[in-house]
């Protein structure tokens, strides 16, 4: 029955070529949401899965940038909408990006479809290459091989405590009045605070006032954080993109990607925090490590990293966390004093992070923990339904219901 329910959610949230995360709370196309949704469609409509990714790249900017929101149709139920972003693009989009999951998904779609989808894979390849080059130009401006986020929303983990200290430098005194829409749909206790939202909007206004000049923003933006999540996801994406380049005989691009991968494998050293035994995000402006162990700290296996001592510490941290909660993987270490079971990325379990963490653990040969992450995800969805996220202590649902990427994770992984 869960398979049928999950398919129904994707079909119901389909807007004709793109899928909204949730019709009431998120009425547009979101970047990494669409990538995961494509994996869900593979369970019953491979052509529709490809179309999801293709529609996202129809909004790619000429310089390779892929925005985090595409406003195919206006909807007053969401803020900030296209007027506040004012990117002057066609179609209208936001001015920031999101974790680059798409290349990994395209490889998965290609492996499932084989030669019959080779042309679609080949058509997307240069667009994916342009995006990874954009990251190197505008989000790795120090050449460390890391992804520097210029907005908490870029990370996909909007209100993680990792952004609290770096966000304190954001001037919110001149933010024009606005009305949040998210809290009219959902319990405010599950959402970012007003102070956090003021910072988000201030950064949107900051980028708009500078014409979304990403080169300038990389130099001047008041928020610049090397994000462990985006870094690991891009490293994995580049490995998968390399496999596509080799399959297509694109030798020059393959060599370019090998260089990106090698640089990232060295660069992640800067994110390792020996004191907490985990990879942590780091403020580029101050050089300080966040010191927070989040669900993104466990993406190293997904990224293909291997270091015996670090792996041992990371696995110990995940085991310790697993003993403190009923369901893995909470978005913040439950031993942290700021842990909040239902507040967005300060505690709840997210099925898409579990999918990446579980997949990485399995690929690294960590069968026991991989099984725990997968079974916990399955149990959460069976108990509470296809919600945005879940309380790791009770399994209670949090956030929006009938959520597309949770349904997709069930179809492609958790429910298998």
Tell me how far CA of residue 273 lies from CA of 276, 277, 292, in angstroms. 6, 6, 9
If you average pLDDT over residues 36-51, what whole number do you get?
A: 98
Tell me how far CA of residue 103 lies from CA of 122, 240, 296, 331, 339, in angstroms. 12, 6, 19, 24, 33
Given this model, what pLDDT does residue 190 score? 87
If you average pLDDT over residues 192-208, what whole number do you get?
A: 97
Given this model, what pLDDT does residue 187 score? 85
Given this model, what pLDDT does residue 74 score? 86
Out of 238, 253, 333, 388, the active site residue is: 388
**11 burial level (CB within 10 Å; 0-12, 13-18, 19+):** middle
Given this model, what pLDDT does residue 140 score? 96
Tell me how far CA of residue 128 lies from CA of 124, 132, 238, 302, in angstroms. 6, 6, 9, 19
- The dihedral over CA atoms of 263, 124, 59, 72, expressed in degrees to the nearest 10, equals -130
Given this model, what pLDDT does residue 34 score? 98
How many other CB atoms are there within 10 angstroms of residue 196's CB atom?
A: 17
Residue 184: pLDDT over 80: no
Residue spans of the domains in the chain: they are 2-414
CATH number assigned to the domain covering 2-414: 1.50.10.10
Contact 6, 377 (CB under 8 A): no
- Tell me: the pLDDT tens digits for 45-79? 999 999 999 999 999 999 999 999 999 998 988 99
Contact 324, 335 (CB under 8 A): yes
Question: In 131-288, which ranges are E strands?
Answer: 148-149, 225-226, 272-273, 278-279, 282-283
Given this model, what pLDDT does residue 46 score? 97
- Tell me: the pLDDT tens digits for 86-132? 999 999 999 999 999 999 999 999 999 999 999 999 999 999 999 99
Q: Is the pTM of this model over 0.95?
A: yes
Q: What is the mean pLDDT of the chain?
A: 97
Active site residue 75: no
Active site residue 220: no
DSSP per residue, 370-412: HHHHHHHHHHHHHHH-S-SEE-TTT--EES-SS-HHHHHHIII
Out of 3, 45, 158, 265, the active site residue is: 158
């Amino acid at each position: 029955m869960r398979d049928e329910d999950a398919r129904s959610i994707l079909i119901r949230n389909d807007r004709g070529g793109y899928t909204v995360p949730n019709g009431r709370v998120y009425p547009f196309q979101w970047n990494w949401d669409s990538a995961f949704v494509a994996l869900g469609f593979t369970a019953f409509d491979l052509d529709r899965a490809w179309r999801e990714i293709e529609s996202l790249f129809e909004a790619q900017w000429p310089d390779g940038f892929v925005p985090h929101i595409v406003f195919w149709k206006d909807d007053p139920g969401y803020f900030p909408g296209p007027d506040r972003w004012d990117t002057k693009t066609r179609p209208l989009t936001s001015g920031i990006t999101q974790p680059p999951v798409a290349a990994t998904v395209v490889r998965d779609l290609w492996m499932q479809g084989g030669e019959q989808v080779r042309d679609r894979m080949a058509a997307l390849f240069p667009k994916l290459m342009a995006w990874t080059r954009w990251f190197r130009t505008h989000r790795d401006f120090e050449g460390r091989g890391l992804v520097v986020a210029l907005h908490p929303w870029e990370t996909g983990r909007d209100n993680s405590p990792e952004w609290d200290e770096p966000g304190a430098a954001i001037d919110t005194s001149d933010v024009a009045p606005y009305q949040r829409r998210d809290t009219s749909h959902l319990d405010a206790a599950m959402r970012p605070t007003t102070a956090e939202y003021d910072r988000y909007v201030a950064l949107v206004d900051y980028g708009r006032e500078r014409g979304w000049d990403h080169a300038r923003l990389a130099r001047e933006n008041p928020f610049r954080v090397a994000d462990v999540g985006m870094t690991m996801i891009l490293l994995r994406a580049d490995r998968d993109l390399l496999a596509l380049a080799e399959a297509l005989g694109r030798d020059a691009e393959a060599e370019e990607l090998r260089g990106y991968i090698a640089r990232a494998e060295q660069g992640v050293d800067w994110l390792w925090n020996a004191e907490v035994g985990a990879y942590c995000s780091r403020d580029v402006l101050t050089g300080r490590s966040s010191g927070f162990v989040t669900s993104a700290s466990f993406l190293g296996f997904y990224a293909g990293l291997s270091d015996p001592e670090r792996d041992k510490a990371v696995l110990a941290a995940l085991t310790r966390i697993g003993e403190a909660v009923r369901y893995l993987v909470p978005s913040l270490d439950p031993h942290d004093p700021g842990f909040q079971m239902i507040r967005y990325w300060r505690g709840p379990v997210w099925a898409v992070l579990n999918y990446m963490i579980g997949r990485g653990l399995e690929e690294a040969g960590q069968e026991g923990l991989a099984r725990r992450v997968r079974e916990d995800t399955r149990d959460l969805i069976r108990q509470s339904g296809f919600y945005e996220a879940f309380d790791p202590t009770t399994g209670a649902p949090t956030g929006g219901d009938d959520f597309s990427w949770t349904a997709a994770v069930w179809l492609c992984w958790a429910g298998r």
